[in-house]
Structure 1
């Protein structure tokens, strides 16, 4: 247990991860289509301010502003040659805030999908994917990230490529998927089979879980289905703050601080050890989650009925209703935007 994340998990039992990056940066003036990663150079003080607001709200883990900072996505902004430097800067900004917190705060180097489709359906080879992730993770490591946080994944081969890159960089790692398609990833992976994406790779992940894609109720339902393949591997749940609505030209998320606190308590009951918010989760929501985490005593594992009664109705059909074949690492996959909201 030599890495900082494992040590803090052992010390505290359950950790609070931060909230949304893109959603909050839009509130600070980021425009649609603009890459948050470009703000690392043009508005670093705003990135630092966001990290600080999450630390002030009680986050134990803050994710660097590097979700789309791989060469394939940066190419859209003519910045692919600055991949290493942008990731280094992203980690350095988060590291500065974490080091000034006066308590242990983990810097997680956010690593999102390449935005490309791997062979044989797409043009990106597995080796090229590994190299793209390695380049990014090396930059995050140079900037002081504690862990590679591989997130919002949907394809098993892309997860494995990112994990191989993290291991090659001698970085501890976490990986999460987005189970937003009838309770599965877009590539059809069931939550109980997601861990198999990196099966056999050593060292094993510190944590495996789910983020983005769905609101709190659906995320909790996914959490009941998640398996890690290793009793020592923690479960991560990082839900969107409710359901997005388009109001007066802006995207507004329906979740309240009270609902996110209820979600936090149920996530603990479901066995999650790293709990956070994704799209729409602001520092105010996170402060309520911090209070819930600090005051809650774990209860029995919730049922779907309890989840619906407490947090609200499910939006998606759940994976356990449609069976599981454990497959789905290859096939058609949509491109995600350049920022995790």
Structure 2
């Protein structure tokens, strides 16, 4: 039987995904440093409201509140024994919201990085990474997700480990990396590198692309980098709502709903098939993205100048793929949370 996301890709020219998880949960009262995944059991009504907000704003697909739901990250909150439970419940809540919707909604099981650095640079072995991802994938599968959704990955070794784990779980999957270091991931991966990587994997992801990063302009430049490789695999673009700025003790993203509407239309024209938001993206942004995708006719592929004119300047002069780029892989990574 064909999986739900493949069916949706066959049926729709463009799929609108969801927005931020962290931003919206902070707006609901989540405190900095707390594990959002614990809210799956402690605050289920708020998690369902998170999912419902995306559906009501027009999203065709939303991600579960399970980004940090692996044993390594949950250990920071003494919850490493609850991996399967927290992922299962996060998925069940999403399944309930999706099944009650008046249109088909795809539930994607969010899987973020372990937060550890893999061998040979770090100490995390391939086998242990596969085990952790497999445990999380099984919980999401048990909870009823349609597809597994790897995101905010920086290292190719971690991407491969997750792909192997998803194959063991017997689930279709998608996978994105975060290109936030002068057009590369923090571990030095370029847009061209990711295209080559996904072509080597078996089974390959249903779709691949970029999420998070440094802003709407930068992620569209990365999308153009994917397209330049001639890939025919569906491309994902989940960009932040502008640039983060510190104001009155809080991180605020300066992207307006109108800017994100422009971003969504340009992402589609650039070649993305699945378009959503990441950090800072609220239902208000999603509504404008939905309107833009539905009302604006498809245009020519945007130039870099057109992107910056509409969405603001790039954060770096290079897209990361030039020989003189100078972006070196880093040995340490920040501990990040999507949205």
User: TM-score with structure 2 length normalisation?
Assistant: 0.96
Alpha-carbon contact 1:157-1:197 (below 8 Å) kept? no
Note the 1:175-324 alignment, pairs <5 A. 175-227=175-227, 231-320=231-320, 322-323=322-323
Give the equivalent residue in structure 2 for 1:82. Answer: 82
1:202-259 CA distances to partner (integer Å, 9 max, x unpaired)?
2221101000021111111111101597854100000000011111111111000110
Structure 1 150/248 Cα, relative in aligned 2: closer, same or farther at 3 Å? same
Residue 142 of structure 1 deviates from its aligned partner by 0.4
Paired with 1:340 and 1:95, the residues of 2 have a C-alpha distance of: 21
Alpha-carbon separation, structure 2, partners of 1:281 and 1:84: 28
Could you report, residue by residue, the CA deviation over 1:18-70 in whole angstroms, capped at 9, with x for unpaired residues? 00000111111111100100111111111100110110000001000000000
CA RMSD of aligned residues (A): 1.8
- Judged with a 3 Å threshold, the aligned counterparts in structure 2 of structure 1 residues 321 and 335 are, in CA distance, closer, same or farther, namely closer
Q: 2:52 matched to which residue of 1?
A: 52
Deviation at 1:320, TM superposition (A): 4.7
Q: Measure the CA separation in 2 of the matches of 1:317 and 1:212.
A: 19
Partners of 1:231 and 1:7 lie apart in 2 by 20
CA contact (8 A) 2:241 2:253 kept: yes
2:154 corresponds to: 154
Return the alpha-carbon distance in structure 1 between the equivalents of residues 324 and 77 of structure 2: 39
Q: In the TM superposition, what is the alpha-carbon distance from 1:199 to its structure 2 partner?
A: 3.8
Match of 2:142 in 1: 142
Distance in structure 2 (CA, Å) of the matches to 1:293 and 1:16: 8
What's the CA shift for 1:323? 2.9
Matches for 1:65-76 after TM superposition, within 5 Å? 65-76=65-76
**Residues 17, 61 of structure 2: 8 Å contact kept:** yes
Measure the CA separation in 2 of the matches of 1:217 and 1:317: 12
1:35 aligns with 2:35: yes
1:320–1:303 distance in 2 versus 1, CA, 3 Å: farther
1:124 deviates by: 0.9
Structure 1 residue 322 displacement after superposition: 3.4
Question: 1:228 and 1:3, CA in 2 relative to 1: closer, same or farther beyond 3 A?
Answer: farther
For 1:152 and 1:235, how far apart are their aligned partners in 2? 15
Please say if residues 243 and 255 of structure 1, whose CA atoms lie closer than 8 Å, have aligned partners that are also in contact. Answer: yes
1:10 aligns with 2:15: no
Q: Which residue of 2 aligns with 1:340?
A: 338
Structure 1: stretches of 5+ with no match in the other structure = none
Cα deviations by residue, 1:257-292 (Å, 9 ceiling, x for unpaired): 110000011111101000000000000000000001
Describe the shift of the 1:321–1:122 C-alpha distance in structure 2 as closer, same or farther (beyond 3 A).
closer
